[in-house]
Structure 1
Amino acid sequence: MPSNEPDETGPESAGASQAPRGRIFDIQRFSIHDGPGIRTTVFLKGCPLHCLWCHNPEGISPSPAISFLSEKCMACGECVRTCPNGAHQFQAGDNGAASTHAYDRERCEACGRCAVTCDTRALEFVGRRMTVEEIMKEVRPDRTFYLSSGGGLTISGGEPLAQPDFTRELLAAARDEGIHRCVETSGFASWGRFRALLALVDLFLFDFKETDPQRHAEFTGQSNEIILGNLRALYDAGANIQLQCPIVPGYNDREDHFAGIAALARSMPDLLGVRLLPYHPLGKSKLERFGLRPAVYLPDEPLDREGPAAWISWLREKGVRVLNAESSSKAASSPPGWLTGA
């Protein structure tokens, strides 16, 4: 797991003799939902899309940030004494009430000094820079589990291709050590960046969020034209691809969209399959930790199991290989993508 301590150097300060660093916001070991088998998933910061329902909003900006969870704050005041910009203050409560922690993010430069002094981790630095070797030190210990389960390394985000050189070097390091490699991607990047990864990636987990180009732009900030072009180019190049399709109530849970998924899947007979990712409100709680609010209304509850089950059956009737398990009961209690494969 990345340290809570900030890094002292930015990308521009790395000299030729220094190993390149990527901006990482999380590393999850023993993941079983980001590709086959038991995996270590590395989450890179920076994404060109701004999906309204994003469940990793801390990964959108390429810059570091401070997460603040007020429930963990014990009002020790260390952050006030440490912050060079006066971003943290405590306001005395009325009639003996506890002090309130006021965090002015406009003054914050995300230097991370406050997070270093926060014993309860109410404040956390998100977006540490790490070298390929530092990450591989966290990946290697689980090699036995990768080999026994068919697992390996998954690079996710954010968007891994937003840090193309670092992603390529990390994949090459894993390849050299015989570790299976997945890249989870939004598909929005130049084709040249994808082409540079072809020989290094065993499996692309390719997101497909919306069929209609205009609605895709409304939901994510970008049209799906580049995404579809890259998907087709990867397929034509012989890449192993699994299509990942989120189901978000009130947005893309429409028959015309799923008809588009079916048509797309049938046009690529060697596609490994389609996995539906039921909506979960995990991202809403994360937004609060970073001082953000949802841009639009999003449901407070996970998608109930009948929703994904109905679309799974619908797609299978259209001849699509759906990778979700026969029972989608876990969809009601698990974040997006947390469904076991059949």
Structure 2
Amino acid sequence: MPDVTAVPSAVPGAVPTAVPSGLLADVVRFSWVDGPGNRYVVFLQGCNLDCLACHNPHTIPRATPRARAVTVEETVADIRTYAPFLSGITVSGGEATLQAPFVAALFEALRDDAATSSLTRLVDSNGCASDEVWDLLLPLSDGVMLDLKALDVDVHRELTGSDNTPVLRSMDRLAHEDKLTEVRLLVVPGHNDGEDRLRRTGDYLATHAPGVPVKVIGFRPHGVRAAARRVPAPTDDRRAEYGRRIAARVGAELVTVV
């Protein structure tokens, strides 16, 4: 196993140092919730946000004893084994764009391998990435699923510890280049679920990401850190109401509620 990894840059949004391996948190070889169809999901270690409601908090640190270095070659070999049963590959995290050179090399290898070339290649991202990162990834990607934690900058800081300016900038670019596959809204009661906030979020998406599917996700406490366990999970009726408020702005045919 290699003794070097694609260590995330200390500068938020910058392209990390290019090295021949990635730092892996885990893989899920068959998933129906990380993009369309049956997907192989690569969860990379390290994130540039510190989300209160994160459902994979163990992937936030830049390195942990659980994470391991993997090469592009061994990752492709494992994917090749399951390729006949897959629709595509999703690279998630953590934050996939922090290891952009590894993701780019992986997607290029998957594209060029006859056994995996038909699989779609998606990035699941929080959007905190620079144009330099997107310049590297977009030519090799079929699309990006973007998490919008909050439209309001103060609420975004409250939920993630960071500004949302790079997220909105990424959304605009991805939508313009027809690479925005889905916008994901995690609605956290007491934080970003106010009627006016949902209305303004829907209006923003209708303007900046017209025609893009929106997945409205009601907060659930499973797997979150202790600080988030005090947040009540919305009822089914409440989640449905979140969806209706977004759908009223972007179109019901574009909205899925989970």
| Structures share fold, TM-score greater than 0.5 | yes
After superposition, the CA RMSD in angstroms is 2.0
CA shift in 2, pair 1:176/1:203, >3 Å: same
Aligned to 2:238: 307
Aligned to 2:53: 53
CA shift in 2, pair 1:256/1:175, >3 Å: farther
Q: SS of the residue aligned with 2:254?
A: coil
Deviations 1:112-154 (A, max 9, x none): xxxxxxxxxxxxxx101101111112211222222xxxx2000
1:186 Cα shift? 0.2
Q: Percent identity?
A: 30
Aligned to 2:221: 281
Q: Check the 8 A contact 1:34/1:154 in 2, yes or no.
A: yes
Distance 1:226 1:8 in 2: 33
CA shift in 2, pair 1:298/1:10, >3 Å: farther
Are 2:235 and 1:322 aligned? no
Aligned with residue 267 of structure 1, among 185, 207, 211:
207
Deviations 1:81-106 (A, max 9, x none): xxxxxxxxxxxxxxxxxxxxxxxxxx
Are 2:239 and 1:298 aligned? no
Distance 1:281 1:54 in 2: 9
Q: SS of the residue aligned with 2:144?
A: strand
Are 2:128 and 1:188 aligned? yes
Distance 1:268 1:214 in 2: 20
Aligned to 1:252: 192
1:302 Cα shift? 4.1
Aligned to 1:335: none
1:8 Cα shift? 6.8
Distance 1:129 1:271 in 2: 38
Q: Which amino acid in the other structure matches residue 49 of structure 1? A: L
Distance 2:229 2:35 in 1: 30
Distance 1:44 1:235 in 2: 24
1:27 Cα shift? 0.2
Q: Check the 8 A contact 1:315/1:322 in 2, yes or no.
A: no
Deviations 1:9-44 (A, max 9, x none): 2339xxxxxx71101111001100000000000000
CA shift in 2, pair 1:323/1:172, >3 Å: farther
Higher-Rg structure is: 1
1:195 Cα shift? 1.9
Distance 1:317 1:323 in 2: 10
1:297 Cα shift? 5.5
Aligned to 2:68: 128
TM-score by length of 1: 0.66
Aligned to 2:173: 233
Q: SS of the residue aligned with 2:146?
A: strand
Aligned to 2:10: none
Q: SS of the residue aligned with 1:139?
A: helix
CA shift in 2, pair 1:318/1:240, >3 Å: closer
Distance 1:33 1:195 in 2: 27
CA shift in 2, pair 1:25/1:269, >3 Å: closer
Q: Check the 8 A contact 1:242/1:271 in 2, yes or no.
A: no
1:270 Cα shift? 4.4
TM-score by length of 2: 0.86
Q: Which runs of 5+ in 1 are unaligned?
A: 1-6, 13-18, 66-125, 288-292, 329-338
CA shift in 2, pair 1:170/1:8, >3 Å: closer
Q: Check the 8 A contact 1:25/1:45 in 2, yes or no.
A: yes
Q: Check the 8 A contact 1:184/1:205 in 2, yes or no.
A: yes
1:257 Cα shift? 2.2
Summarize the alignment of residues 3-18 of structure 1 with structure 2, pairs less than 5 Å apart. 9-11=3-5
Summarize the alignment of residues 59-78 of structure 1 with structure 2, pairs less than 5 Å apart. 59-65=59-65
Paired residues in the alignment total 241
1:322 Cα shift? 3.3
Distance 2:197 2:209 in 1: 19
Q: Answer 1 or 2: which has greater helix percent.
A: 2
